[in-house]
Amino acid sequence: MSTQNATKIQIERQPDSNRLNELGVKSWSIWEKEVSEFPWTYDTSETCYFLEGDVIVTPDGGESVSMGKGDLVTFPAGMSCTWNILKPVRKHYQFD
């Protein structure tokens, strides 16, 4: 896998309820985290839907990406990044 692919975060802004139901988002686990900053590496890809929060994720060697409430986000396997949580996060998530 090239480094370029490993840093590509995909964001769907405000997907509609049909899209969320299609994915089964409501059945996914929930993760919560207070305001903080920490490094993270994705061993497998993760798709998540933000119920609350405001976050800036900066892939190592990449551009910072803002995300938060109402966003459906996919993080690629192999990506290392830094999470900067500006407002407490509550999200559904699923590892692929």
Query: Using one digit for the tens of pLDDT, what is the confidence trace for 44-66?
Result: 999 999 999 999 999 999 999 99
* Structure-block tokens of residue 91: 């999200």
Cβ atoms of residues 15 and 75 within 8 Å: no
pTM here is 0.91
The DSSP bridge partners found for residue 63 are none
Phi-psi region of 61 (alpha: psi -120 to 50; beta: other; left: phi over 0): left
Instruction: Provide mean pLDDT across the span 32-42.
Output: 98
Domains and CATH numbers, the chain: 3-95 (2.60.120.10)
